[in-house]
Structure 1
């Protein structure tokens, strides 16, 4: 857990307001004073779920069955539109990815080719900021939400009672920290680890508790005098964001400290009563010497017990990150471009399909604000009906993409390259 004193001394963090860590410290103090904080304040405003929780193929099949199966011609026209959208976006995102990878190559820590030139720390930092700036529109198009300072303060202070592994983070070590997330869910979160016992008492299976978590979390962090770390993780609880940072220190939770101290006291008293009194009476050892020896023995045993517990939790943290990590560094950029491309295609396909239901023949240049709002409501209701999730559909952006694709009355987009827009 972060200390307020450390926060007040730290440098600014990317993604936080200009007041920096002093503001974050104030928010953390606020959460510490709450008896049972359940979620960050203004969470419903700060986090809007925009991720469409269906694959593109499933989405196309569902739309065909529901809206475009009246005739073979209608079905063929819609599928031709989908194919043209895929072709149009393929070149666009391939070009974007090439530019981003070229920009990232000089600072790629996993590069296996010979280094052509070296960068100073200031040059590397500037290059990293440029990469992050170029990633922002991709992350937005991929429907990630940038997590706010309020959310970060909550995540650094609040721990779920089911979290056995806890870590402490010193923000003074970092140049910047940023988090993005998508796919907020609430339900059982199974922990894939070889260390945690998956069975309860009497051998019965342990039921995972209901948790608030994200399907994907992207982390961008840089330790001072090091390099940018880009990582993506899956199924990360809101209260476990700090575990994803580099250079964290495993700490023993209050529950385990109390449990271990209680066990040490009980076992120590038992040893002292059964052994110490015998030694005191038979060997004629002085009381002071015996107490000093006993205190040294208990201190050594406590050091060993707490050290073993920290090692167990460290190994469990490593296993958790191993199972939940999905991509790193340059591989993350590849995965991000593919996800942005798919979300882009899904938004355009949904907008086109529902606009056809509202107006049999439409042109993207003639869509007014009332039609866009009605289309947004229809799409959101349809997504909620099929997924059970509340998804905010970016109708304005989808219509803008339709205009960029040049969809005509026949529904065939024209290919071309356009910048990714948020």
Structure 2
């Protein structure tokens, strides 16, 4: 398998610790400022951590009425209206955190593509979206993989596929009356609950395998292959059994004719007739055994497909339900920190200041040169965070009419972050 460079993504694929270390040892931070820079980075990281702690609690609180894994005693009942309020808040908060973690929403077009595309794992799946009342599917990172696979017998082909590094989804099942009306039994989920999933390395053409109600269906060539064997075997069995069936049918006809239009009694059977009846019963048993073998072969093939699906999902599943919130929150917290840190360092290095577009280009060029990694830096988000933390200010206006931004000194930045840290909880209370 060959991995081909993908299009630029908003995601910054460098660990937080590695980025801090790389910037601290770059020419943009002087040796004299290195300790101050590391303290600045530590406080900035801590501020984002406490901000996202509140988001974690929001997600957990609103997920509680729908969590199928609750292990605490419920002390209140949620009305239908209250559940709807919690559902809307949860969807909004989850979508917001995923966006901060630089995930992108997967469109209905992408899902249609997955349903119609031939699966990389040679499995066809059917998903009934009517089972869901609400759903969100997001992805992060997209790599182009070139792979070789068997096409038919000994023939191989090379294909290009898009693989998503991360896929997160949240699904709200419809309530119990919907499934009762359809007389659906033996459900492997609780109606009215929500599931949250996080996966890795998912081919774009196989998104449908992530849905909990995906049902295996055979490909056309599998049906034709099995059908061909079934028809060929069936003809052979019927030809072999035909003599016995004809003999048995003849004897039964004679017996019934004797009862109906003859003496009214069942005639006695001689050795020849008994042999014919035995041959007929044997023929019926042979046909029954053949049909059972074909049905069992279909069931075994379906089980094999399900095992292939399960094996793939086992190694691609990263987290489930409430655990996904912690995972995504950690990602979002790190992405927000990295964006703010990069924005500040590059502004601070430019003594005269930079426009938003110039700052964006400088950061993206540095990433390409330093890490050989193309990114689509979120400049507006980065500047928004720096303005909120009062770490930058407008220094003037460029010839293009764009504002020129300048970072405050590292000493001043440290003081401002220190003040925010000391008064963090008071400011949070004021906002509440």
Report TM bin, short chain. 0.7 to 0.9
Q: For 2:16, which of 46, 56, 62 is the aligned residue?
A: 56
Contact 2:246–2:280 (Cα < 8 Å) also in 1: no
Counterpart for residue 3 of structure 2: none
Higher relative contact order (CA 8 A, sep 6+): 1
Q: For 2:206, which of 217, 240, 249 is the aligned residue?
A: 240
Contact 1:186–1:210 (Cα < 8 Å) also in 2: yes
Aligned counterparts, 1:15-414, within 5 A: 49-68=9-28, 71-121=30-80, 123-160=82-119, 162-187=120-145, 211-225=161-175, 226=191, 227-268=193-234, 275-276=240-241, 297-357=289-349, 359-360=350-351, 371-407=355-391, 408-410=408-410, 411-412=413-414, 413-414=416-417
Taking structure 2 as the reference length, what is the TM-score of the superposition?
Answer: 0.71
SS in 2 for 1:152: helix
User: Rg larger in 1 or in 2?
Assistant: 2
1:237 CA drift (Å): 1.0
SS in 2 for 1:215: strand
**What whole-Å deviation, never above 9, does each CA across 1:26-75 have from its counterpart, x for those lacking one?**
xxxxxxxxxxxxxxxxxx9xx97211111111222223333346x42133
Taking structure 1 as the reference length, what is the TM-score of the superposition?
Answer: 0.72
SS in 1 for 2:383: helix
1:134 CA drift (Å): 1.5
Contact 1:361–1:409 (Cα < 8 Å) also in 2: no
After superposition, the Cα gap between the structure-2 partners of 1:158 and 1:74, relative to the gap in structure 1 and judged at 3 Å, is same
**What whole-Å deviation, never above 9, does each CA across 1:124-150 have from its counterpart, x for those lacking one?**
243222111112221111001011222
Structure 2 CA distance for aligned equivalents of residues 245 and 345 of structure 1? 32
SS in 2 for 1:179: strand
Counterpart for residue 262 of structure 2: none
Contact 1:53–1:387 (Cα < 8 Å) also in 2: no
Contact 2:104–2:140 (Cα < 8 Å) also in 1: yes
1:182 CA drift (Å): 0.2
SS in 2 for 1:213: strand
SS in 2 for 1:109: coil
1:298 CA drift (Å): 4.4
**What whole-Å deviation, never above 9, does each CA across 1:236-270 have from its counterpart, x for those lacking one?**
11111111112221111223223323333444456
After superposition, the Cα gap between the structure-2 partners of 1:286 and 1:378, relative to the gap in structure 1 and judged at 3 Å, is farther
Contact 2:124–2:217 (Cα < 8 Å) also in 1: yes
SS in 2 for 1:235: strand
Contact 2:146–2:161 (Cα < 8 Å) also in 1: yes
Structure 2 CA distance for aligned equivalents of residues 270 and 383 of structure 1? 69
Contact 1:107–1:127 (Cα < 8 Å) also in 2: no
Structure 1 CA distance for aligned equivalents of residues 102 and 133 of structure 2? 26
User: Tell me, which stretches of 5 or more residues in structure 1 are unaligned?
Assistant: 1-43, 191-200
**What whole-Å deviation, never above 9, does each CA across 1:136-182 have from its counterpart, x for those lacking one?**
2211110010112222221222223x322221011221112220000
Contact 1:100–1:134 (Cα < 8 Å) also in 2: yes
User: Tell me, which stretches of 5 or more residues in structure 2 are unaligned?
Assistant: 1-5, 176-190, 248-274, 392-407
